A and B are shown apart, each in its own frame.
Chain A
Amino acid sequence: MTDLAIDVVQQLLNGFLFGSSYALIGIGFTMIFGVMDKLNLAFAVTGLAGAYTGLLLFHLTRGPFILVFLMAVAAAGLIGLVIELACFRWMPRDYPLAPLMATMGMLFFVDEVVSHATHGRPMAFPAPMGQVMMDVGPWLVRGDLGFMFLVSLAVMGALWALVYKTRLGLATRAVSQQPVAAQLCGIGLTRVNAAVFIITGMVGGVAGTLIGSAVGNLSPLLSLPLTVKGLVTAVLGGLGSIPGAIVAGLLLGIVEYEALYFFGIGYRDMVTYLLLFAFLVFRPGGLFGQRVGR
C-alpha cells in the first residue's frame, strides 16, 4: 500500500472518530428543533459551560475524571433547563425568530460568564486517554479519539433507548409529529419541552467534556466554531433527524480531516463550506430530510 493511501485512511479514521463529537452536538440541535420547530443557538455553549463546571470541580477537588464528567453533564442539563425557561417558555409559539435572538443573547451571556471566570485564557483539561495509542495495521488510533467515539456511541445508544423505549420518548415523538394532537391526548407540552432541554443539555455536556479532553484544553474561543459545526451537522442531516445528525457529524469530521490533509489548514474550512453550500443547493432537505426548509 502506498504512503498516500495509508495517510488518507488514517485521516479518514481520525475524522470519523472526531466526527462523533460533531454528531453529539448536531443531535442536540436537531432534537430541540424536532420537538419545538425552533433553534437553540445557545446549545453548543451549554455543553462547553458544562465542561467548564466539571473543570472547576476538578480544580477544587482533584477528583477522578469520572467526577469531572458527571459534574459537567449535570451542570449542562441544568443550563439547558435555564435556557428553556429564559428563551422559550414565554415566547410566542408561532414566531421562531424571537427565541432565535434570545438564544443568541444567551450564547453571548454564557460565553461571557466563562470568559469572565477564566480571564479569557484557555485552560488545560484532563485527558484520561491522552497517552494511549493503538496500532491497527499501519494505522494509529489515538486513545482520546477512540474514547470519544466509544462514549459518543454509548450516549447515542442511550438516547435511542430513551426515545424509542420510554414513555417520555413516546411523548417526545408525539409532540414533534403532532403537537396539537399530543396535547389533546394529555401530554404536557411544557414538561416535554423542559425534559428535552435537560436531556439535550446533558448530551452537550458529554460532548463538551469529550472535546475538552481530546483537544487537551478548553477555551471560550471554541464556542462559536462548535455552534457553527453543530448547526451544519444538524442541517446536513436534515433538521429533526437524529440518525441524520449522526451520519452528518461523522461525514463532517471525515471531510474536515481529509481537507486538512490535502489542502492544509488555510483551505480546510473553505473546502468544507464549499461542499456544504453545494450540498444544500442540490439537496435542500439535507441527507435525511423529508421536510424541505422552514
Chain B
Amino acid sequence: MEFYFALATLFGFRILLGLSAYVVILTGQISMAQAGFYALGAYTAGAATALWGWPIVPAVLLGAIVGAVFGFLVGFPALRVRGLFLVIATLAFTEIVRMVFLNLKYTIRVGDRTIGPAAAEGFRGITYYFENGWSSLQIAGFTWLFVLAVLLAFWLMDRSRAGVVLRAVGEDELAASSVGINLTAAKVSAMTLGGLVAGLAGALYAHYATYLSQEEFGVLLASFAVAYPLIGGTGSVLGPIAGVLFFSLLIDGLRFLGDWRNLLFGVLIVAMMNVRPHGIIDVRLVRRLAALLRPAPKRAYAGD
C-alpha cells in the first residue's frame, strides 16, 4: 500500500506542475519558468517549516504565493518576447533560480544536525511530516486536497469567460486585442496563476522529499512541465492529467523492461506526437464529447 500512496503523491506533484504549464499554454506561450517557480516554492516552504517553525498549511501557501509573485514579475518582461524567444528567456529564469540555490547558504544548527539550504550540498532536514508522525496515506491525502482544489478551480475557470479569453489570446493575439482583450492583463494573469500552482507543487514536494538539491529543478523538470499538457492535450484540464498518466505509466509501468524502458520512452513520445499531434485530449475531442454528453439544446451553451 505504501508504494501506491507514494505513487499517488508523486502523481499529485506532476499534475500540479502540468496544470501550471497548461494555463500558460492556453495563452499560446511555452514557459520554461515553471521549474523555477517550483524550486522557489519548494525552498520557501521548506525554510518556513524547517527553519522558522511554521505549521505546514501556511508554509505551503507561502510557497504558492512566492511562486505567484515571481510569476507576476517574470510575466511583465516576458511580455516583450514571444514564442521561442520566450522559451529561452524563461529557461534563463529557471537556470538563474537554480544557480541562486546552488550558491545560497542559510543554515541553522539543531542539536547535532545542520538544517537549511547549504549551497551545493542541498537543503536537508525538511522533516515536518516525519516529526508530526504523518503516515503516507495522510501525506497523499494532504497533497491531493490541494490537487483537487486546483483541478476544480481550473475546471471552473475553463468554463468561465476568463478561461475562454485565455484561449482566445492563444488562438490569435491580434484578433483578441481588437475585440477588446487586454493582452498584458491576460498574459500576466496566466503567468501569475501558473507561478502560484507551480509554487504550490514545489512547496508540497519539498515536504515529501525532505531533501532538496538544485539539480532537480533544471531544464529537464521544465521540459516535463510543458510536456504533460502538450502530450495530454490542452482541450481541457483532463489533458495534463492524461499527460502525467502517459509519462508516469511509461516510467513506472515499463519497469519490467529494465534498462530498455528508457529507450522506449523517447520512441513512444515520437510515436504519440505522430498519432495525436495536438495531444491526447485536444479541443476537437472535447467538443465531440461535449456534443455527446449534452444533446439537450437548452443546456448546450450553459457552461461554455
B185 within 8 A of A: no
Q: Is the CB of A105 within 8 A of B80?
A: no
Known interface pairs A87-B273, A112-B262; 7 further A-B residue pairs with C-beta atoms within 8 A, sorted by A's residue number: A98-B273, A108-B266, A113-B263, A224-B219, A276-B88, A281-B89, A293-B83
Interface string of B248-263 (1 = CB under 8 A from A): 0000000000010011
The range of chain A's interface size is: 35 or more
B228 to chain A, nearest CB (A): 11
Take A267-B99, A270-B99 as given contacts and tell me if A39 and B84 are in contact as well, using a CB distance cutoff of 8 Å.
yes
Task: Tell me the bound Cα distance from A93 to B249 in angstroms.
Answer: 30
A233 to chain B, nearest CB (A): 10
B151 to chain A, nearest CB (A): 23
Q: Is the CB of A109 within 8 A of B270?
A: yes
Q: Is the CB of B85 within 8 A of A286?
A: yes
Take A102-B274, A239-B84, A269-B95 as given contacts and tell me if A112 and B103 are in contact as well, using a CB distance cutoff of 8 Å.
no
B62 within 8 A of A: no
Chain A neighbourhood of B268, CB < 8 A: 105
A33 to chain B, nearest CB (A): 8
Task: Tell me the bound Cα distance from A271 to B141 in angstroms.
Answer: 41
Main secondary structure on chain A at its contact with chain B?
helix
Chain B neighbourhood of A145, CB < 8 A: none
Q: Is the CB of A91 within 8 A of B274?
A: yes
Take A98-B273, A108-B262, A293-B86 as given contacts and tell me if A224 and B220 are in contact as well, using a CB distance cutoff of 8 Å.
yes
Take A105-B267, A284-B85 as given contacts and tell me if A91 and B91 are in contact as well, using a CB distance cutoff of 8 Å.
no
Q: Is the CB of A274 within 8 A of B96?
A: yes
Identify which of residues 264-289 in chain B touch chain A, using a CB-to-CB cut-off of 8 Å.
Answer: 265-270, 272-274, 277-278
Give the B-binding residues of A (Cβ under 8 A): 33, 39, 86-87, 90-92, 95, 97-102, 104-113, 115-116, 224, 227-228, 231-232, 235, 239, 266-267, 269-270, 273-274, 276-277, 280-281, 284-286, 292-294
With an 8 Å Cβ cutoff, the count of chain B residues facing the other chain is 45
Q: Is the CB of A284 within 8 A of B80?
A: yes
B232 to chain A, nearest CB (A): 11
Q: Is the CB of B88 within 8 A of A101?
A: no
Closest to B85 in A: A293
Q: Is the CB of A276 within 8 A of B92?
A: yes
Q: Is the CB of A266 within 8 A of B102?
A: yes
B175 within 8 A of A: no
Partner pick for B259 among A100, A116, A266, A267, CB 8 A cutoff: A116
Identify which of residues 74-109 in chain B touch chain A, using a CB-to-CB cut-off of 8 Å.
Answer: 77-78, 80-89, 91-93, 95-96, 99-100, 102-103
A-B contact pairs, 24 of them (CB 8 A): A91-B273, A98-B277, A100-B230, A104-B227, A104-B269, A105-B266, A105-B269, A109-B265, A109-B269, A112-B265, A116-B259, A227-B219, A228-B95, A228-B219, A231-B88, A267-B103, A269-B99, A270-B99, A277-B93, A277-B96, A280-B88, A284-B81, A293-B83, A293-B86
The 9 closest A-B pairs by CB, nearest first: A105-B269, A109-B266, A293-B82, A98-B277, A270-B99, A108-B266, A294-B83, A102-B273, A273-B92
Q: Is the CB of A235 within 8 A of B84?
A: yes
Take A86-B270, A280-B89 as given contacts and tell me if A116 and B95 are in contact as well, using a CB distance cutoff of 8 Å.
no
Tell me which of B89, B102, B119, B230 has the highest count of chain A C-beta atoms within 10 A of its own C-beta: B89
Chain B neighbourhood of A269, CB < 8 A: 95, 99
Chain B neighbourhood of A286, CB < 8 A: 85
Chain A neighbourhood of B87, CB < 8 A: 231
Task: Tell me the bound Cα distance from A55 to B95 in angstroms.
Answer: 32
Chain B neighbourhood of A107, CB < 8 A: 266
Task: Tell me the bound Cα distance from A196 to B83 in angstroms.
Answer: 22
Chain A neighbourhood of B100, CB < 8 A: 270
B231 within 8 A of A: yes
Task: Tell me the bound Cα distance from A91 to B92 in angstroms.
Answer: 29
Partner pick for B92 among A90, A111, A277, A285, CB 8 A cutoff: A277
B213 within 8 A of A: no
Partner pick for A112 among B263, B272, B277, CB 8 A cutoff: B263
Closest to B80 in A: A284
B242 within 8 A of A: no
Tell me which of B83, B87, B92, B227 has the highest count of chain A C-beta atoms within 10 A of its own C-beta: B92
Task: Tell me the bound Cα distance from A105 to B268 in angstroms.
Answer: 8
Chain A neighbourhood of B230, CB < 8 A: 97, 100-101
